A and B are shown apart, each in its own frame.
Chain A
Amino acid sequence: MSKINKENRPITSEKLMNEFHRYQKGSITRRHFLEVTGLGTAMTVLGTAMPSLLPRKAHAFGNLGNRLVFATWPNYHNQVNLDEFTKMTGVHLQMNAFGSNEEMLAKLQAGGTGWDVFVPTNYTITNYVNLGLIQPLDLSRLPNYDGSANDPMFAKPATVNGTVYCVPKNWGTTGFIVNTKKIKSSPKSWKDFFDVTMGAGSGHTIVHDYQLTTIGGALCALGYSFNSIDPKELAEAEALLIKSKPHMFAITSDYQPGMRSGDAWMSICWNGDATQLKNDLPEMDYVIATDGGEIWTDFYAIPKDAPHLDAAYAFINYLQDPYIQAREASVHGYAPTDSRAIALQPDSLGSDPILHPAAELMNGLEFGAAQTMTDPVRAEVIARFKSA
């Protein structure tokens, strides 16, 4: 499908990507973008069918207060979207970044966080519901959300016992990223990852600082399941981790600075970060390990005692707009679950192997399991590893 522009001549997908990048950076206005790419006509046509695509006026929001606190992950949002939300509604956003779901849970358990919106991963939802830390969503206040447009494979965890507790943000995979200029051996599996860590890449590898992905990677390297809570298998994984620890550069979930500065050559990585890194540094290569890994969905949710509920709903609603979703995805590099948003993305993104990996690679990936979050053995293993 080629996009038609104002003069009724198709534009190249390269030019479309250029304009899209300029739009995402905020260099050109939405209007200019729509005109130049010819999407404007499409918008007008679609606009009547999907009113949410038309720009809204600020006064339609009523009184939302002027603060919103939300907890999310590093490098996960398009600042242009956030700024536009503030401009439209007058609500200032405070973003708190966390490196793990466990930490978000710890904060919520301790109480009094003051968060209005947070971004949990699929395997945590049932735990939050059981602990009474999350509130069910009133879908009538989220007109932009279209349940049917979301791939059920990804959106399923949002509904617990028939009640919807969150809406999908995007999905992703967990693999590892390699700086091909420094590591020539092309590691393909978690086993390779740990071999390279103790070998050619010694002193330059990063692993995450929480249990799911780090222990999961070690388990896969040993041929076990990513989500295993079997104490014997966990003991072996712990041994592997502790053995390779002296060869690691850092244990952190904020690995981008290390990779960018060249201090780190390989790291456990989420695919969106891989896209971001690859955009700036083409020598970066993202690998979905052949012996397993994680596939996940992140959601937007509202904690039980959110102080600014109206602002929270307005914010989530804004972010569910397919156009905004597409704009978010263009910056953070993860694929949306919403088919309407996917349709708005340039074709090249649709065929990007990092965002949409081949089906056979995806088969080995597992969704994180809820019990890994609460399992005390896994918690102790990662703590002992960090402490070793």
Chain B
Amino acid sequence: MRLYSIAIYLFLYVPIFIIVLFSFNAGRHASELRGLSLQWYGKALANPFVVDAFVTSLVVALTVAILSTLMGTAAALALQRLKGTLRILFDGMIYISIMIPGIVIGIATLVALVTVFNFLNPLLASVWPEGVKPLKLNMGYATVIAAHTLFTMSLVIILVRARIVGMDRTLIEASTDLYATPWRTFYQITLPQIFPAILSGFLLSFTFSFDDFIISFFVAGANTTLPVYIFSSIRRGITPEVNAIGTMVLAVSLILLMTAQYLLHARTNR
């Protein structure tokens, strides 16, 4: 069994190793190794479009994570009180937003929003005050954030709800018996207990949004997220610059993880 696990880890890491190795390629083509150099890291960092794409991905992912955590937690709490058809309806929609393939929602959102914008933009232009440039609705930051949040919000609802279901109700009862206000009960009893679910929801939402390609490909408009940039790099003739980007993202994630691990251990002191 141990041997098997080692084999699996090898399987997982050989491509990663190749990616990192080729990021140090002194040659131009990503398929032939010609000596080692750091040139591609320099080129990637100096390329304003790489930096742009990275920042865009970061901003979008953070916004998505925050929005979906807030809305999802609120919804999970509120859904406890819902019964009957309304409850079934909501459950259904949560279920569908998770289950719908990214490509379908990406395309459907693009088609729907383009149609709506084409309809609204002339209207806006006609009612807009003279001399001021009219507001033009376009695909961009807002649309890609909104599209990602649909999926991640439902994810958060599921995670938090599972945790709420497994919670100890007696503590809540005790709290209200002791005359605590609902807010206080929530803040001091409920929240700490569901916090792990909220945190994992936040992290998962961030990861999903940051790495998403399919939905961003369709609805991001002129803005490029990092995965979309990498895709068009691959299209135009892949250079080791892409490997450098991938390695850097990996390195940053590992560092963040180490920090989180350290902080967690320092806090809980197991």
Q: Which A210-265 residues sit within 8 Å CB-CB of chain B?
A: 254, 256-257, 260-261
Partner of A254, one of B118, B138, B235: B235
Asked if B166 is an interface residue, CB under 8 A from chain A, the answer is no
Asked if B232 is an interface residue, CB under 8 A from chain A, the answer is yes
Q: In the complex, are the beta carbons of B221 and A96 less than 8 A apart?
A: no
Kindly list chain A residues whose C-beta atoms are within 8 Å of the C-beta of B118. 111
Asked if A69 is an interface residue, CB under 8 A from chain B, the answer is yes
Q: Tell me the nearest residue of chain A to B140, going by C-beta.
A: A112
Asked if B139 is an interface residue, CB under 8 A from chain A, the answer is yes
Q: How far is B43's CA from A92's CA once the two chains are assembled, in angstroms?
A: 13
Q: In the complex, are the beta carbons of B31 and A112 less than 8 A apart?
A: no
Asked if B114 is an interface residue, CB under 8 A from chain A, the answer is yes
Q: Tell me the nearest residue of chain A to B228, going by C-beta.
A: A96
Q: How far is B238's CA from A95's CA once the two chains are assembled, in angstroms?
A: 13
Asked if B110 is an interface residue, CB under 8 A from chain A, the answer is yes
Asked, given contacts A92-B48, A261-B31, A307-B222, whether A111 binds B235 with beta carbons under 8 Å apart, the answer is: no
Kindly list chain A residues whose C-beta atoms are within 8 Å of the C-beta of B48. 66-67, 92
Q: How far is B117's CA from A261's CA once the two chains are assembled, in angstroms?
A: 46
Q: In the complex, are the beta carbons of A114 and B235 less than 8 A apart?
A: no
Q: In the complex, are the beta carbons of B237 and A111 less than 8 A apart?
A: no
Asked if B49 is an interface residue, CB under 8 A from chain A, the answer is yes
Q: Which B32-57 residues sit within 8 Å CB-CB of chain A?
A: 47-49
Asked if B236 is an interface residue, CB under 8 A from chain A, the answer is yes
How many residues on B have C-beta within 8 angstroms of the other chain's C-beta atoms?
21
Q: How far is B118's CA from A110's CA once the two chains are assembled, in angstroms?
A: 10
Asked if A346 is an interface residue, CB under 8 A from chain B, the answer is no
Q: In the complex, are the beta carbons of B222 and A97 less than 8 A apart?
A: no
Asked, given contacts A92-B48, A97-B237, A254-B237, whether A114 binds B222 with beta carbons under 8 Å apart, the answer is: yes
Q: In the complex, are the beta carbons of B221 and A92 less than 8 A apart?
A: no
Asked, given contacts A92-B49, A112-B140, A261-B31, whether A69 binds B237 with beta carbons under 8 Å apart, the answer is: no
Q: Tell me the nearest residue of chain A to B121, going by C-beta.
A: A111
Partner of B110, one of A67, A69, A110, A256: A110
Partner of B232, one of A66, A96, A256, A261: A96
Q: How far is B24's CA from A354's CA once the two chains are assembled, in angstroms?
A: 36
Partner of A97, one of B221, B223, B236: B236
Q: In the complex, are the beta carbons of A97 and B140 less than 8 A apart?
A: no
Kindly list chain A residues whose C-beta atoms are within 8 Å of the C-beta of B110. 110
Partner of A111, one of B29, B31, B139, B238: B139
Q: In the complex, are the beta carbons of B139 and A74 less than 8 A apart?
A: no
Q: Which A88-139 residues sit within 8 Å CB-CB of chain B?
A: 92, 94-99, 110-114
Asked, given contacts A75-B237, A256-B237, A257-B31, whether A110 binds B114 with beta carbons under 8 Å apart, the answer is: yes
Q: In the complex, are the beta carbons of B232 and A97 less than 8 A apart?
A: yes
Measured between C-beta atoms, what is the minimum distance from B94 to chain A in Å? 29
Kindly list chain B residues whose C-beta atoms are within 8 Å of the C-beta of A69. 222
Kindly list chain B residues whose C-beta atoms are within 8 Å of the C-beta of A92. 47-49
Measured between C-beta atoms, what is the minimum distance from A223 to chain B in Å? 35
Asked, given contacts A92-B49, A261-B31, whether A113 binds B222 with beta carbons under 8 Å apart, the answer is: yes
Tell me which of A97, A112, A260 has the highest count of chain B C-beta atoms within 10 A of its own C-beta. A112
Q: How far is B140's CA from A256's CA once the two chains are assembled, in angstroms?
A: 33
Q: How far is B237's CA from A252's CA once the two chains are assembled, in angstroms?
A: 13
Kindly list chain B residues whose C-beta atoms are within 8 Å of the C-beta of A114. 221-223
Measured between C-beta atoms, what is the minimum distance from A340 to chain B in Å? 29
Kindly list chain A residues whose C-beta atoms are within 8 Å of the C-beta of B232. 96-97
6 nearest interchain CB pairs?
A114-B222, A97-B236, A112-B221, A112-B139, A94-B49, A112-B138
Pairs across A and B, CB under 8 Å, 26 listed: A66-B48, A69-B222, A74-B237, A75-B237, A92-B47, A92-B48, A94-B224, A96-B232, A96-B235, A96-B236, A97-B232, A97-B237, A98-B235, A99-B235, A110-B110, A111-B117, A111-B138, A111-B139, A112-B221, A114-B221, A254-B235, A254-B237, A257-B31, A257-B238, A260-B29, A307-B222
Q: B residues touching A (Cβ–Cβ < 8 Å)?
A: 29, 31, 47-49, 110, 114, 117-118, 138-140, 221-224, 232, 235-238
Q: A residues touching B (Cβ–Cβ < 8 Å)?
A: 66-67, 69, 74-75, 92, 94-99, 110-114, 254, 256-257, 260-261, 307
Give 11 A-B pairs besides A75-B237, A92-B48 with Cβ atoms closer than 8 angstroms.
Answer: A92-B47, A94-B49, A95-B236, A96-B232, A97-B232, A111-B117, A112-B139, A113-B221, A254-B237, A257-B31, A257-B237
